[in-house]
Structure 1
Amino acid sequence: MSQSVYIASPEGFTGKSMVAFGLLEALASQSDRVGVFRPVVKATDSHDRSVELLISHPAVDQSYEDAIGVDSGLVLTDPDAAQEIILRRHRELAEKYSVLVVLGSDYDDLANPTELAFNADVAANLGANVVLVLSGMDRTPDQIAALASVSTGEFSSHHAAPVAVIVNRVAEGQADAVRAAVEERLPEVSVAAIPESPVIMAPTVEDVRTAIDGTVLQGNPERLSRVALGTVVAAMSLPNVLNRLSESCTVVAPGDRSDILPGIFLAQQSGTFPSMSALILTGGYQIPEEIQRLVAGIQQDLPVITTDASTFDTAVKVSRARGHLTADSPQKLDAARRAVAESLPTDKLLETLAVTRSSVVTPRMFEFDLLARARGEKKRIVLPEGDDPRILAAAEAILNRGVADLIILGEETAVRAQASQLGLDISEARVVSPRDPELVEKYAEEYARLRAKKGVTLEQAREKVQDVSYFGTMMVHMGEADGMVSGAAHSTAHTIRPSFEIIKTKPGAKIVSSVFLMALQDRVLVYGDCAVNPDPTAEQLADIAAQSAATAEQFGVQPRVAMLSYSTGTSGTGADVDKVREATELVRAAHPELDVEGPIQYDAAVDASVAKTKLPDSAVAGRATVFVFPDLNTGNNTYKAVQRSAGAIAIGPVLQGLNKPVNDLSRGALVDDIINTVVITAIQAQADSPQVTPAAPAS
């Protein structure tokens, strides 16, 4: 039977769904079978938003119908029958999932004692751990503590004592006071406080359009899922309108103010003003043909929405538009992930809930674990290719998720203008010009010093460091960034050559090599070297093995090293197999603590039945986790074959052996690839940080 976590509230509008989403993500990092159950849904024709949100999570494989219990009408007419159906549905799901996130009912209005008691009874009947979510909105810490005490008392009286109280939507700067007040009244309960997030609670542009019954005149449809934060009524002159713009605001303008439209579009394009979410034109006026021609020549994706209503009525409706956390707004989902991850002590909570880590490691579990580790100690990662739209899209996601602090190279106005035109918020990123005179001079002096023996002059150094790869590498070398990710628009050589010259190899590392982290359906394997060294010698192969084992351990994979060849054990001879045999002995001599086997064929390394026949006494055969290929040709082809044929997620190449982390992207990299590489680089940069706790090893 599975474990269940019942997330309940004593009132409405607490942001309970956001907490459930974040907690589900934490549970998904521990278990490969996470399910969702909502005992009671409202009796309407439309689907429950919260259920749709939770089952949309990548870790959940479940239909909407499979996740719901009964409708609220049955609870009112026959609560005993409702409880019986809920219990039966829960038992069915408990057979299928190792962990169930159970979401309590919503409240249509004010707190309802009957509904609270019903949720408590359901939680008790299901034998679930209860997590209570309260709203801190417009309440003092003492008022919140009083509500927490009364609510936990009600659940306890129904034999469903909460194990945790999470206060959501807490006013800025009040989190510590709220926690202290609740802990004083409930010392035996885990307490967390999550600050109010404007992005999560804000309506999207589509919510605003629906509220005013507007029509989209032009703009990128994808931007309708962006959040709308605040309203600016453009009833004054253009300079005064521009002065009032704020990030992601909605501008409401009379439709006959055609003079203001070019200024609004230019502001959106300029990069020197905050990026707007939408422009609403009121009054039902037609835009004059001359203005349409003028605007058509300005490249922009800003949604323009028209309505027949007056400016005043429209502004009122926009201000009253309510937002919901839904699966179709990645911006809001990333903000929710960040809010929960930064404010909820998930490790302590999972320990309280007695959730045990699965021996299976799915790609999603691995990804969630990496994100959590990157957030644990945020590092500064420099992205040299600030003019690439993929880099900017990845930057927004990284910043929204709170996994790293970013430095983007480029001319600030141009970079921010491009982000604004794409509808991306990178306001938290630092944008640095690689032609900044002060930095160029500082980096040139250091580069000239480093390369003095090669005859590099200061003038040559000034020219060299203005190349974005050299500039970014100098930032890492001088401690102004903790790592660098590049290669989306440059070759591998262009990305890593500066590292060889400036950062150089770690003490004890003979060469720079690479691994791919191969996330299969049920485990993570490490493949090296598949990207850097064409034909390593025995000594270099041994170095690659040691580096790969260390990288595996760094990312939570217990290293059992297979030195691959076309022959297993002593059955084969020849220069190629002899090289692997020699490399294996070198690894054993230098690292006696490592489990290493070689030469060994791939099937003997991964298949227990083959291993039993070929190497029955090996600690590695049949259960290898680190695979060292004899040459680049074999390694590169194998990782691609496994990636395509087995549906594995290949994360990398991850460079190893450098003093500081620099990683290369494929020029065909997708946004998700860039995000993963930044996360990997951030974790590599944490390596020497004593406060970071390594993830539990995956077998």
Structure 2
Amino acid sequence: MLGFPFIFRGALDVRASKINEEMKMAAVKALAALAKEPVPEQVNVAYGQTRLAFGRNYIIPKPFDPRLIAEIPPAVAKAALESGVAKEAITDWEKYKDILRERLGSDNKLVRLLLSRAKLSPKRVVFAEADQLAVLKAAQIAYEEGIAIPVLLGRKDTIEALMAEIDFEGDIDIIDPKTDEENNRKNRYAKVYWEQRKRRGVTLYAAQRLMRERNYFAAMMVNEGDADALISGYSRNYPSVVKPMLELIGKANGVTRIATTNVMMTKRGPMFLSDTSINIDPTAKDLAKIAVMTSKVIKTFGFEPVIAMTSYSNFGSSDNEKASKVREAVSILHRNYPELVVDGELQTDFALNDKMLRDQFPFSKLVGRKVNGLVFPNLDAANITYKLLKELNEADSIGPIMMGMRKPVHILQLDASVDEIVNMTAIAVVDAQNREMWELEKDIS
């Protein structure tokens, strides 16, 4: 039963005249090979397991394994070609696998592209809460799939016990900032931090105490080049994690406002929603900056940004200050970034429905364009919208992606899933890759 739909898929795709023994055997061998590969976390979750692994209790892949569609049909199709029953040939097998994966949805394609990009040049990512099982499992996936080189922070005995439980093996750095063996590094970090903050009420003793706190220690690892990127926030509320990052990492040159965006995997494709976590009631200038930063993130994912500045008002239909600040933000953007496809203020349904927009507001820059970015007038609107999409439509989300920081620092939502942490790890790696490339370009110029 497990191979049945995938055998037919492979047979149909090469217009096989029949399903022979060679094709059946190819399916069996492909299933056997897949069973020995690391199991995706979503399969573990679906079957209530901590970590499925090949052995007496797991000898064939589970029916909900998303890898089946990209592994079994190609094996069957190849066997049909080799045994002479295929009427059509497949020449590009990787492209064929991509087409099969796309049947799972465009969100999977985007995630695959993100993970593939990260694997080109994995970076050292410090996981500040590695003694949490979900975080550790994400670090394991990142390590085993070549996405990142994990650095694990937390109680060493706890981490090692959890690693044994989930069969996480490898040459991994495990660091407990509270132990005496890290005193030299803590003192070095503390001195650097104190030099930066000594005229702002921070004593050397206070700096030394803070370096025992994992988020401060992790941030200094990134600052001092001992790690390339940072992931935190799984077990603590967002503001308590943002604070040390702003104090130690700080904003990028020329940036006056940080913000976040969430990528929502919707039926119409990926949507970038900003600002979902930081700015409670941004000004018109802030909204313009958020839109520009969001456009850069959209480009990082390989899309041309088309951004709607949302409101309850449409193009001046209300004079209320809440609507007028969005209108002012659009004026700033049109004046200073004429190449950016952005417009508003407008209601979300008009932003997403081109016919409605064309009929009522044919002058809009968004007419005939597929909007992929929504900038909201305040944190309430953005945060509520993204969580509604996530829960009601079961839309997958990547984020919140930090924008405007000096270093690759990314903060998870409280109690994020393993898949969400893996995706954020890939974001952090790609962020580090981009910054490395920008530095090289600066040196060349």
Q: Shorter-normalised TM-score: what interval?
A: 0.7 to 0.9
Mapped to 2, the partners of 1:614 and 1:50 lie a distance apart of 55
Matched, 1:640 2:383: no
- SS of residue paired to 1:387: coil
- SS of residue paired to 1:402: coil
After TM superposition, give the deviation of residue 496 of structure 1 in Å. Answer: 1.5
Change in Cα spacing, 1:661 to 1:35, as seen in structure 2 (3 Å) is farther
* Deviation digits for residues 346-365 of structure 1 (CA, Å, limit 9, x no counterpart): xxx659x998x99x971111
Aligned length: 393
Matched, 1:407 2:173: no
After TM superposition, give the deviation of residue 121 of structure 1 in Å. Answer: 3.4
Amino acid at match of 1:430: D
Q: Give runs of aligned pairs for residues 500-579 of structure 1, distance below 5 A.
A: 500-579=246-325
Mapped to 1, the partners of 2:92 and 2:409 lie a distance apart of 44
Matched, 1:433 2:176: yes
**Contact kept? 1:525, 1:625, Cα under 8 Å:** yes
Mapped to 2, the partners of 1:644 and 1:414 lie a distance apart of 33
The answer for unaligned runs of 5 or more in structure 1 is 1-23, 25-33, 68-99, 106-114, 132-348, 693-699
Change in Cα spacing, 1:645 to 1:489, as seen in structure 2 (3 Å) is closer
After TM superposition, give the deviation of residue 606 of structure 1 in Å. Answer: 0.8
After TM superposition, give the deviation of residue 610 of structure 1 in Å. Answer: 0.8
After TM superposition, give the deviation of residue 617 of structure 1 in Å. Answer: 3.3
**Contact kept? 1:409, 1:432, Cα under 8 Å:** yes
Aligned to 2:40: none
Aligned to 2:212: 466
**Identical aligned residues as a percent:** 27
After TM superposition, give the deviation of residue 410 of structure 1 in Å. Answer: 2.3
Change in Cα spacing, 1:51 to 1:680, as seen in structure 2 (3 Å) is same
**Contact kept? 2:27, 2:75, Cα under 8 Å:** no
After TM superposition, give the deviation of residue 60 of structure 1 in Å. Answer: 6.5
Amino acid at match of 2:90: A
* Deviation digits for residues 139-190 of structure 1 (CA, Å, limit 9, x no counterpart): xxxxxxxxxxxxxxxxxxxxxxxxxxxxxxxxxxxxxxxxxxxxxxxxxxxx
Matched, 1:674 2:421: yes
**Contact kept? 1:399, 1:428, Cα under 8 Å:** no
- TM-score norm. by structure 1 comes to 0.52
Q: Decide which of 428, 431, 439 is 1:684's aligned counterpart.
A: 431
- SS of residue paired to 2:343: strand
Q: Decide which of 14, 17, 28 is 1:48's aligned counterpart.
A: 28
After TM superposition, give the deviation of residue 47 of structure 1 in Å. Answer: 7.5
**Contact kept? 1:580, 1:598, Cα under 8 Å:** yes
After TM superposition, give the deviation of residue 511 of structure 1 in Å. Answer: 1.0
- SS of residue paired to 1:535: coil
Mapped to 1, the partners of 2:11 and 2:406 lie a distance apart of 48
Mapped to 2, the partners of 1:545 and 1:130 lie a distance apart of 39
Q: Decide which of 118, 122, 127 is 2:89's aligned counterpart.
A: 127
Q: Give runs of aligned pairs for residues 241-640 of structure 1, distance below 5 A.
A: 362-420=106-164, 422-435=165-178, 436-621=182-367, 623-640=370-387
Larger radius of gyration: 1
- SS of residue paired to 1:689: helix
- SS of residue paired to 1:688: helix
Amino acid at match of 2:135: I
- SS of residue paired to 2:296: helix
Amino acid at match of 1:679: A
Higher strand share: 1
After TM superposition, give the deviation of residue 408 of structure 1 in Å. Answer: 0.5
**Contact kept? 2:316, 2:324, Cα under 8 Å:** no
After TM superposition, give the deviation of residue 607 of structure 1 in Å. Answer: 0.6
The answer for unaligned runs of 5 or more in structure 2 is 1-5, 13-18, 35-60, 440-445
- SS of residue paired to 1:371: helix
- SS of residue paired to 1:451: helix
- SS of residue paired to 1:534: coil
Amino acid at match of 1:636: N
Mapped to 1, the partners of 2:75 and 2:365 lie a distance apart of 39
Mapped to 2, the partners of 1:499 and 1:424 lie a distance apart of 32
**Contact kept? 1:562, 1:598, Cα under 8 Å:** yes
After TM superposition, give the deviation of residue 589 of structure 1 in Å. Answer: 2.4
Q: Give runs of aligned pairs for residues 197-208 of structure 1, distance below 5 A.
A: none
Mapped to 1, the partners of 2:126 and 2:152 lie a distance apart of 6
Mapped to 2, the partners of 1:634 and 1:43 lie a distance apart of 54
Amino acid at match of 1:534: I
After TM superposition, give the deviation of residue 624 of structure 1 in Å. Answer: 1.2
Mapped to 2, the partners of 1:630 and 1:417 lie a distance apart of 46
Aligned to 1:285: none
**Contact kept? 1:441, 1:462, Cα under 8 Å:** yes
**Contact kept? 1:384, 1:472, Cα under 8 Å:** yes
Aligned to 2:402: 655
Mapped to 2, the partners of 1:59 and 1:521 lie a distance apart of 21
Amino acid at match of 2:380: N
After TM superposition, give the deviation of residue 101 of structure 1 in Å. Answer: 6.7
After TM superposition, give the deviation of residue 493 of structure 1 in Å. Answer: 2.0
After TM superposition, give the deviation of residue 619 of structure 1 in Å. Answer: 3.2
Change in Cα spacing, 1:426 to 1:610, as seen in structure 2 (3 Å) is farther
**Contact kept? 2:260, 2:277, Cα under 8 Å:** yes
Higher relative contact order (CA 8 A, sep 6+): 2
Change in Cα spacing, 1:458 to 1:614, as seen in structure 2 (3 Å) is same
Matched, 1:104 2:81: no
Mapped to 1, the partners of 2:249 and 2:20 lie a distance apart of 58
- SS of residue paired to 1:129: coil
Higher helix share: 2
After TM superposition, give the deviation of residue 506 of structure 1 in Å. Answer: 1.2
- TM-score norm. by structure 2 comes to 0.80
Mapped to 2, the partners of 1:45 and 1:556 lie a distance apart of 40
Mapped to 1, the partners of 2:23 and 2:431 lie a distance apart of 50
Change in Cα spacing, 1:41 to 1:441, as seen in structure 2 (3 Å) is farther
After TM superposition, give the deviation of residue 604 of structure 1 in Å. Answer: 1.1
* Deviation digits for residues 615-674 of structure 1 (CA, Å, limit 9, x no counterpart): 223332462111000001111111112222333112111111101121112222121121
After TM superposition, give the deviation of residue 596 of structure 1 in Å. Answer: 0.8
Aligned to 1:58: 66
Amino acid at match of 1:429: I
Deviates more, 1:411-420 or 1:488-497: 411-420
